[in-house]
Homo-oligomer: A and B are copies of this chain.
């Protein structure tokens, strides 16, 4: 008997563990502490309870629990400019000595004079030029290092925080909560896939293979006798608007059951997600907090949310009022 008791003693930690998993007390722990109580938080909790209730009418097997998240404006801030554009501007400045011709060529000429507004007045064309010049002619591994290095050093112009600190605390909690409920979380970004991969695993807990994004052309070749993947200037895929469902199908091959965005660029992703059969969840983050963050929607050139707001109302999607629904916006807030 004694040896039995000894074995039993050894098992106590395991048993305690199992008990914790199953006990109602554990289930009541608030896994979304930065969300104020209210309709948005309740809608999330109800959805997750529904799809995870085995034997219930809305149960979804774990392998089908796919949740997709936009990045800019949904997981981290996007003002005063998309952070990847700020990265490209810094890169252009760093590369300028090797490109004397940029002194007479837009958008570089204005940028190098510190006039970002004029540089970007060229609109999409200017951005494409800028990204092509700063995101190509290097290996994928070199690019990854450059982005990581920039993220470690650069500071946000308004908060002086690292860009990876400009992530929304409530959304980080939501990512973790969904994963703890058996979801596989994907990022589906209009930004560059390799740019976002450089920090998504550390910052969001989303591994590179679960990042979908816009992409430049890549070419396999041999350099100095070793195979490399070279980033080339051309655009291969734009993962925005109607491109998002296409990117989702290409990378994931399943229709998500939950989608999270903040702009009209996410509208088709939400439509694709929420018109599938069974219980679905679509959520827009509405930037309503001009004090803790930025307030913008229908008129904004960055992260415009116009048709999306109408569609959310028409379809009963959840719209997060950042000011009202979030106890904290950023983790660094007191």
Contact = CB atoms under 8 A, between A and B. Distances in A.
Q: How large is the interface on A (under 10, 10 to 19, 20 to 34, 35 or more residues)?
A: 35 or more
Contacts of A209: 66, 184, 209-210, 251-254
Given A18-B14, A227-B245, A272-B227, A250 B184 contact: no
Interface string A190-217: 0001100100010000011111000100
A233 to B, nearest CB: 15
Contacts of A8: 4, 8, 11
Contact of A253 (B193, B219, B221, B243): B193
A227 to B, nearest CB: 5
Interface in A246-305: 246, 249-254, 268, 271-272, 275
A47 B14 CA distance: 32
A139 to B, nearest CB: 10
Interface of A: 4, 7-8, 11, 14-15, 18, 63, 66, 140, 184, 193-194, 197, 201, 207-211, 215, 218-221, 226-227, 229, 242-243, 245-246, 249-254, 268, 271-272, 275
12 contacts: A8-B11, A184-B209, A193-B253, A197-B253, A207-B254, A208-B252, A209-B254, A215-B250, A219-B246, A227-B268, A227-B272, A229-B249
